[in-house]
Structure 1
Amino acid sequence: MAQLYFYYSAMNAGKSTALLQSAYNYQERGMRAEIFTAALDDRFGRGVVASRIGLKAEAHLYTETSDMLSEIEALAAQGKIDCIFIDEAQFLTKHQVKQLTKVVDDMNIPVLAYGLRTDFLGETFEGSHYLLAWADKMVELKTVCHCGRKANFVVRRDGEGNVVTEGAQVQVGGNDSYESMCRKHFTELVW
């Protein structure tokens, strides 16, 4: 029986690495794994999921207007799909997460979604909010704060290294713009 999984964390916990490893495991066994990633994150190239340690794979793109169910149904019409992987799942909409539940429940295809739990202000992203609510299984991937404690928040910094406490929820960036921190250090800087 297929299930909807949500693998979540702060930045730099290895979400993309874990996704790529799992997708490779399916492919290595002759199974078909389809990977999707957010079109707005093109730091490593358009339609590419890449990890900081050098792994990468091509992916289908989705935007906030993508019909995930129709796209997956079209792919399934070309042959059996054994697993769907979603990178940057925080950027999914409520409707898209609902569509992914239909992929699991009606098409019997497992969906493994990987994303951030919260933004730079400690608020959940829309996709993460509904994945946390509707996923069959949730797995926290862990990374560490500079103090050594578990980091579960992300601080946004501007070009001069100052902490940013307002602005658009979505601003794509890497280590140059974001730093993962424990709640104690996050709240000292942001709240």
Structure 2
Amino acid sequence: MSKLYFTYSAMNAGKSAILLQAAHNYGERGMAVMLWTSSHHAAAGADTGEIRSRIGLFAPARLFRAGLDLFAAVQARLARGPLGAVFVDEAQFLTREQVRQLARVADDLGIPVLCYGLRTDFKGALFEGAAELMALADDLREVRTICHCGRKATMNLRRSETGETVREGAQIGVEKSAYVPLCRKHFHEALEEEGPELQLRAGSGAASSDKPVAV
């Protein structure tokens, strides 16, 4: 039986690069794949986007939005030929129903589904898609990245363009922000008090973005 996989981590761990390498491996063996990513990072009204890693790897991908039936979309694609696997980047943005649809792709269509995304947002709360994947996935895999202290980073801190810790606001940020992977201890310390040492480290190790990013 094919499986539903969820590979998760904090920001800047290289999830997209791992996805693209895995998809490339399928292609090298002559197996077609279907790539999906969230519409949150695409122009309004676009049907296709791209998955891009921080090290420069990229590939075109279809876009998913709330309300799209992913099972039906994969089933329609199968009419044109077999698929070796389905890959989903930014899987935290999936709805609960879409995760269940992907589980059906694995169970009913016999196609492995490999999802990659964040587990928690900048407040430390589970994303809807991540929560459902944690519940339904056959295989959970964590990609490790580290906090500035050397511990495993499991949390995502959001900083404003001026370097201030963002504690409130929408789960999906559209403002220019920086995102810092931290261990739980330093995440809570940053939320409680702005420290100059953390401020300096965050400025040198953060990933900046002016696109919608959910952390």
Q: Distance in 2 between matches of 1:173 and 1:143?
A: 25
Q: Distance in 1 between matches of 2:74 and 2:9?
A: 26
| TM-score when normalising by structure 2 | 0.84
Q: Distance in 1 between matches of 2:157 and 2:89?
A: 21
Q: Secondary structure at the match of 2:172?
A: coil
Q: Which residue of 2 aligns with 1:37?
A: 37
1:50-98 alpha-carbon deviations (Å, 9 max, x no partner): 0000000000111112111111111111110110000000000000001
Q: Distance in 2 between matches of 1:172 and 1:15?
A: 21
User: Closer, same or farther in 2 for the Cα pair 1:182/1:173, shift >3 Å?
Assistant: farther
% identity of equivalent residues: 51
Q: Distance in 1 between matches of 2:80 and 2:161?
A: 46
5 Å-filtered alignment, 1:141-152, equals 141-152=143-154
Q: Gaps (5+ residues) in structure 2?
A: 193-215
| TM-score when normalising by structure 1 | 0.95
5 Å-filtered alignment, 1:38-187, equals 38-42=38-42, 47-171=49-173, 176-187=177-188
Higher radius of gyration, 1 or 2: 2
Q: Please tell me whether residue 14 in structure 1 is matched to residue 14 in structure 2.
A: yes
1:121/1:190 contact within 8 Å kept: no
1:41/1:172 contact within 8 Å kept: no
TM-fit CA distance, 1:173: 7.7
1:92-126 alpha-carbon deviations (Å, 9 max, x no partner): 00000010010000000000000000000000000
Q: Which residue of 2 aligns with 1:189?
A: 190
2:113 counterpart letter in structure 1: V
Q: Distance in 1 between matches of 2:33 and 2:161?
A: 38
Q: Distance in 2 between matches of 1:113 and 1:149?
A: 25
Q: Secondary structure at the match of 2:51?
A: strand
User: Closer, same or farther in 2 for the Cα pair 1:159/1:113, shift >3 Å?
Assistant: same
TM-fit CA distance, 1:177: 2.0
Q: Distance in 1 between matches of 2:173 and 2:39?
A: 13
Q: Distance in 2 between matches of 1:103 and 1:79?
A: 15
Q: Distance in 1 between matches of 2:61 and 2:39?
A: 10
2:65 counterpart letter in structure 1: T
Aligned length: 189
1:190 counterpart letter in structure 2: L
TM-fit CA distance, 1:160: 0.6
User: Closer, same or farther in 2 for the Cα pair 1:172/1:70, shift >3 Å?
Assistant: farther
TM-fit CA distance, 1:135: 0.2
Q: Secondary structure at the match of 2:141?
A: strand
Q: Gaps (5+ residues) in structure 1?
A: none
- Root mean square deviation of aligned Cα: 1.6
